[in-house]
Structure 1
């Protein structure tokens, strides 16, 4: 299977039906393509698609993994050229090796991709490739080149995009069977953008301090996975064949020389977390992690211990899991992976006060850290001490307005403390984050009915209802 089946380019072409009649004459790097889609509109479209993904795709709402993958992404973006907007990295619970990018700097990877990576540089090479797709504005450039009779409405694209992300072959088939089948039946994707993204991605990878050999290393995995599949299928998926890309990326990576990057503990902890929580059964995972305990790689060994603790936790063997974590935390007391699991253990053992004591001094030192905030708030809610949880979650949402898990915890806190108006208002924001504006408006109407004589609060709720109505109308009429 090709590396970027769900890449920014692939999504655009499979859904929009963009042809390849331009002889691959690409503009110079960094061309804005503003006559096709402006930067501002690209951000708007990206936000709409991201909201729809939250509602229909199995996004991983895991604060530790989210912080890890965003951290890797940010490290790459800092060393990329032509960045036009903040990037958002996220994960989808899917065992298939894939990654994709779309409008507005949104980049998603499947859990299977991280699980299959052997090193952090391999993982980073995939993210760097997707960053290159975004910074080179491949999607906008293809839109610019396509001679279209009329613009397409974003509302008509979203379903096909989501389906293509879940299953590229089914997604393309569904799009071809749609009302726009006449334009899309002869899809023929260019390979030039993929090669450009490979080359620029390796450059970003190297500048960010990773091993450039991570790119051909990961392509080797794809090559092994694709054996036995027809070359025709690979061609229809519009990317250079894996064997070709291994040779090309190997040559490119060698030009940067050798870089010895030490093993990353966080990478092995993230990989173990995905295996332990999203792949296979706890009993099978115990056997897997037990076999890795003798590894000479210290980071991998600790990852195996952590994965073993997660597997024991999943089997409700909380004391055994805690014993492993206690040892891991002896010399690494602020490790967010360990702290998150330890919080879960304390809550399951009906000891949320122990979690509060563990997390509070760390949170006071880093009050804007989302992992610490969400875990501490969860512990307070479990202890039925709702006021501090509500305050810290509201503070977090001031700086991270789209933190879905924070809204869910806040809604739980409001509901359990019988703050009905606030619970409805928070539920409305949750619905808005998944593009369910009618349901969001209903929740605000319920909240409005909970207000007695507070005229200012009523006006505020009415204003938010109007904002949601305008957002829905704008989405339905938006053309690209």
Structure 2
């Protein structure tokens, strides 16, 4: 099986950052747009922090997130987030549009965008944004920070401290992005702490810039600009309910009543029209609501009430949430009935099909689940959630070789998703392809930042692959590439 070679990552920890910046590169395609009143930021290499260095920082952030915080890997959630963000991207003056999405498993409101095109969101944002317009406004605001390169600009103003302080700054932003801001700061000793605190807290001018860019993006992409002040008001109310303690998001994004009023005034200046949420947003939100329910049984009770009330959630999402809750509560037959009824009303709806296949797989009806996903894939070639669930159903049904093929193609298409490499490794093991097991595990360890473990896995694969075969040659080349990169990183 031919795997795409993923970029190697900087070695464990932050000591190799300076060397890593010269190694972990990403291609940026310049995009030209009409002039605006916002400041010009220059192009690649136009300041202390180049686009290539930003890409390296982004890779380091992803590596740290994988190692230090739980993520939500739900393919339906990730696919929705990617679709929404890429609906906004054509209206963002981004030089690097190769964005990576991360969903942090936390019920607090938070979202972040860091150099290298990393977009992160906590599951809690889905919980608290009751409309798609509100949710999209946060994503647009974060893209605004990337468009204006706020983080890079702040680092450039710290030039007198670079590159010595760069590793500390990076450590702070990684930990603050995925936990609490004070945790990130607490890890940095001495005089660097103040510098990092300054780096993490966007100024009011930065926030106004990101608001303006985000509002333009929202309107151009067909979202309601009013969603931004509405979401800010939700955050302000939540902060007050917590006794004045700033929400995780507000610790790095200062919010004032004046700023809310300003965004509302700006939103009112756009042409008035009707805006409708997509059904998909509310289906994904229902999945998140089940995920964070106190117990699956409580989730069943909650959605049963929503179905009965008819006005709490859009009707299909209430019924769908009940099905997801029943599946979580081990009532797969109950979930199956609801999902099949939903598919009668919404034939071909991918989210309902994927969840039904998940349910059938749980009931050990794997042949039915596989047939359902095969048909769905014929109608929707390349769809990520369908392919992911097909792999899971094949693996559960002991169709190991085909499961490995599905996971292998997914790993080729989404090489940054570490958990897919683990699934591929398991499927290769079930298929008794030991060389494939070691190759997949090597890629997983690379994504986790452990190059030495990756090299050990590839040496095992090299020893087990027959000499002179294409597989042996591919493994040898990959081993040489990673070994060379590790040596460069240590210099």
- Shorter-chain TM-score range: 0.7 to 0.9
CA distance in 2, matches of 1:229, 1:367: 50
CA drift at 1:232: 9.5
TM-superposition CA deviations, 1:404-436 (whole Å, max 9, x none): 343222111101111111101101111112222
SS at match of 2:185: helix
CA distance in 2, matches of 1:189, 1:272: 32
CA drift at 1:220: 0.9
CA drift at 1:179: 7.2
C-alpha change, 1:216 and 1:27, in structure 2 (3 Å) is closer
C-alpha change, 1:331 and 1:94, in structure 2 (3 Å) is same
2:389 to 372, 375, 389: 375
2:72–2:104 CA contact under 8 A, matched in 1:
yes
Match of residue 451 from structure 2? 437
Match of residue 68 from structure 1? 80
SS at match of 1:108: strand
Match of residue 235 from structure 2? 222
TM-superposition CA deviations, 1:40-68 (whole Å, max 9, x none): 22122212221221222212111111100
Counterpart check, 1:290 vs 2:301: no
CA distance in 2, matches of 1:119, 1:40: 36
2:203–2:254 CA contact under 8 A, matched in 1:
no
2:353–2:376 CA contact under 8 A, matched in 1:
no
Aligned residue-pair number: 451
C-alpha change, 1:237 and 1:463, in structure 2 (3 Å) is same
Match of residue 156 from structure 2? 144
C-alpha change, 1:336 and 1:259, in structure 2 (3 Å) is same
Counterpart check, 1:354 vs 2:368: yes
1:91–1:108 CA contact under 8 A, matched in 2:
yes
The more displaced of 35-44 and 246-255 is: 35-44
Task: Output aligned runs, 1:291-440, within 5 Å.
Answer: 291-296=305-310, 300-440=314-454
CA drift at 1:235: 13
CA drift at 1:401: 2.4
1:122 to 129, 134, 138: 134
Q: TM-score, normalised by structure 1?
A: 0.86
C-alpha change, 1:142 and 1:453, in structure 2 (3 Å) is same
C-alpha change, 1:109 and 1:150, in structure 2 (3 Å) is closer
TM-superposition CA deviations, 1:179-233 (whole Å, max 9, x none): 7347558777522111110111111011100011100110111110111645999
Match of residue 174 from structure 1? 187
1:37–1:140 CA contact under 8 A, matched in 2:
yes
C-alpha change, 1:233 and 1:352, in structure 2 (3 Å) is closer
Q: TM-score, normalised by structure 2?
A: 0.85
C-alpha change, 1:185 and 1:344, in structure 2 (3 Å) is closer
2:42 to 26, 31, 34: 31
Counterpart check, 1:446 vs 2:460: yes
SS at match of 1:293: helix
1:93–1:278 CA contact under 8 A, matched in 2:
no
2:228–2:263 CA contact under 8 A, matched in 1:
yes
Counterpart check, 1:47 vs 2:56: no
C-alpha change, 1:412 and 1:106, in structure 2 (3 Å) is same
2:91–2:217 CA contact under 8 A, matched in 1:
yes
CA distance in 2, matches of 1:411, 1:364: 26
The more displaced of 376-385 and 233-242 is: 233-242
CA drift at 1:464: 1.5
CA distance in 2, matches of 1:194, 1:378: 43
SS at match of 1:113: helix
CA distance in 2, matches of 1:355, 1:39: 45
Counterpart check, 1:253 vs 2:267: yes
Root-mean-square deviation over aligned CA pairs: 2.7
TM-superposition CA deviations, 1:325-377 (whole Å, max 9, x none): 11111132322221222122111111100001111122123331111111112
Match of residue 56 from structure 1? 68
Counterpart check, 1:197 vs 2:210: yes
The more displaced of 243-252 and 90-99 is: 243-252
1:84–1:135 CA contact under 8 A, matched in 2:
no
C-alpha change, 1:141 and 1:179, in structure 2 (3 Å) is closer
CA distance in 2, matches of 1:356, 1:274: 25
The more displaced of 272-281 and 115-124 is: 272-281
Match of residue 461 from structure 1? 475
C-alpha change, 1:335 and 1:195, in structure 2 (3 Å) is same
